[in-house]
Amino acid sequence: MKFIVVTGGVLSGLGKGIVTSSLGKLLKARGYNVTPIKFDGYLNVDAGTMNPLRHGEVFVLDDGTECDMDLGNYERFLDVTMNYYNNPTGGKIFNLVLKKERRGEYLGVDVQFIPHVTGEIKEWVRKVGKESNADIVIIEVGGTIGDIENSYFVEAMRQLKLEEGENNVLFIHVTLVPILKVVGEQKTKPTQASVRELLHMGVQPDFVVCRIEEPLKDGPRRKIALYCNVKESNVISDHDCKTIYEVPFVLDEENFSEKVLNELQLPVREKHMEDWSKLVDNIKNPEKEVTIAITGKYTALADSYVSIKEALIHSGAHLKAKANIKWIETTDIENGKASIADVLKDVDGIIVPGGFGSRGTEGKIKCIQYARENNIPYLGLCFGFQMAVIEFARNVCGLEGAHSTEIEPNTKYPVIDIIPEQKEIDEKGGTMRLGAYPAILKEGSIVASLYGKTEVSERHRHRYEVNPDYIEILEKHGLVFSGRSPDGKLMEFLEIPDHKFFVGTQAHPEFKSRLDSPAPLFYGFLKACLK
């Protein structure tokens, strides 16, 4: 088993996750079994209690793990299913160490960062690789070099290289090469400083991957190689391109995966990426375009809805179409700063995504009403599913003031209510209905035709459900619950049959969308928008 450690320098958000995913894709295309791991230094056990505006989207895995959005990139690029152990955090590691200490498993010694914390990290990494039968484990270290919160993890990786041997652990450092417009020069000093920090920690990078707006020139490349003690051929240009799915090809313009395999003393097998190349070409050269409104309350940070954006790109690649996203902050509609007719007049489809809390909900409900009454394709995801039920109850069934007890606990018509087993829970983290759950679809429904089967599994992240007391009146007025839990008690999908496309799901199908196999509901939605 071989290990690749990806670190980052200068600033966060450079794209370490995309480099990790792209390298994984290239190695998998050459026939290797690759397992990615993302370490996050924060003391949270997982990302579940974080505001998307601070941390970006909370991604959910099949096993219910709430995690960093980079795991979404791993799944989308490698078409693999991650689990709890693919995302160690500072909180998880320290929790593990403290529990062992309380059980007396450290044999009475004083528990320290070295060797106990670093030892648990190494054991964690090896265990993940072994259990996934990996040929190569790629470990992305979150944050930037110099952060206190990831320093002990970098130290563990230094030890890992010492223990596993020279050609079994490889370090890749992703760093920024800015271009000063005033002089038009590609500046290498930030990279030099970042690598110097890494060297202070006892780690010599084998590769330096340079994030840069345009291809790296020979002069700066030579300079980086000299000052960073790296072979010139191992300084890799990671310049801007039209889509993240093109990054594997950008990196391999310099035979990146081939060089990595040579450093690890592994055979360089033939690469197969023809299908991926065709889809990337469709993304770069679409034949049609549509405008999709995403009406949410975290729109100030587009990363809050990254899986939805990517799911639209996946479907667009297969339909040779581009979905231009129009971000709509529903709080502005709610407080009168924006007119519903003005903001939605030029859109071809409307998505209401997931969310929590009362802010912006009335704005979302108005968007749904606009989509239903004007026959505009609509896709409701999780909270968007619940809001669609509320809108229909109020404006079609005549249940004035119908609401969710999450927002209005004393509503006269609680069409959305908390499920009984959730009522006694006080803790917020990891206590929702999380992860993959099965659903049985209604034969002949829109949803069943899109999936091509009547039994499906999608990932969930919510605490509230459709109140069964109101299902009869909702269906009597034309709302069809086209998917339910296997016991028939929980509503999973809804649709309005005589609408161009009006579909909602209690799940988050965007989490399982891949470039190779787009989420069926997104594909059907985008197809309807194109019509």
Q: Are residues 273 and 294 in the same domain?
A: no
Predicted confidence at residue 424, as pLDDT, reads 63
Write the DSSP assignment of 302-322 as a string of letters.
GGGGHHHHHHHHHHHHHHTEE
**Closest C-alpha to 326, from 308, 307, 350, 304:** 350
Q: Are residues 273 and 291 in the same domain?
A: no
Predicted confidence at residue 431, as pLDDT, reads 63
The structural domain count of the chain equals 2
Output the domain CATH number for residue 334.
3.40.50.880
Predicted confidence at residue 4, as pLDDT, reads 98
Predicted confidence at residue 297, as pLDDT, reads 62
Q: Are residues 273 and 293 in the same domain?
A: no
Predicted confidence at residue 103, as pLDDT, reads 92
Q: Among residues 237, 255, 277, which one ends one of the domains?
A: 277
Write the DSSP assignment of 206-217 as a string of letters.
SEEEEEESSPPP
Q: Among residues 277, 302, 318, which one ends one of the domains?
A: 277
Output the domain CATH number for residue 142.
3.40.50.300
Q: Are residues 370 and 297 in the same domain?
A: yes
User: Which residues of the chain fall below pLDDT 50?
Assistant: none
Q: Are residues 403 and 481 in the same domain?
A: yes
For 318, the domain range is: 286-530
Paired tokens of 49: 């209690």
Predicted confidence at residue 301, as pLDDT, reads 56
Q: In whole angstroms, what is the distance from residue 67 CA to residue 511 CA?
A: 12
Q: Among residues 226, 250, 277, which one ends one of the domains?
A: 277
Predicted confidence at residue 355, as pLDDT, reads 75
Judge whether 125 and 160 are in contact, CB under 8 Å.
yes
Q: Are residues 113 and 144 in the same domain?
A: yes
- pTM confidence score: 0.92
Q: Are residues 349 and 203 in the same domain?
A: no
Q: Are residues 116 and 224 in the same domain?
A: yes
Paired tokens of 93: 């590691």
Q: Are residues 387 and 360 in the same domain?
A: yes
Q: In whole angstroms, what is the distance from residue 392 CA to residue 382 CA?
A: 16
Q: Are residues 509 and 449 in the same domain?
A: yes
Q: What is the DSSP letter of 490?
A: S
Catalytic residues: 382, 508, 510
Rg of the chain taking only CA atoms, in angstroms? 25
Q: Are residues 318 and 391 in the same domain?
A: yes
Q: Are residues 165 and 292 in the same domain?
A: no
**Closest C-alpha to 239, from 223, 221, 226:** 221
* Inter-CA distances, 39 with 11, 29, 86, 88, 267, Å: 17, 24, 8, 5, 28
Predicted confidence at residue 304, as pLDDT, reads 76
Q: In whole angstroms, what is the distance from residue 228 CA to residue 349 CA?
A: 50
What pairs with residue 294 in β-bridges?
327, 351
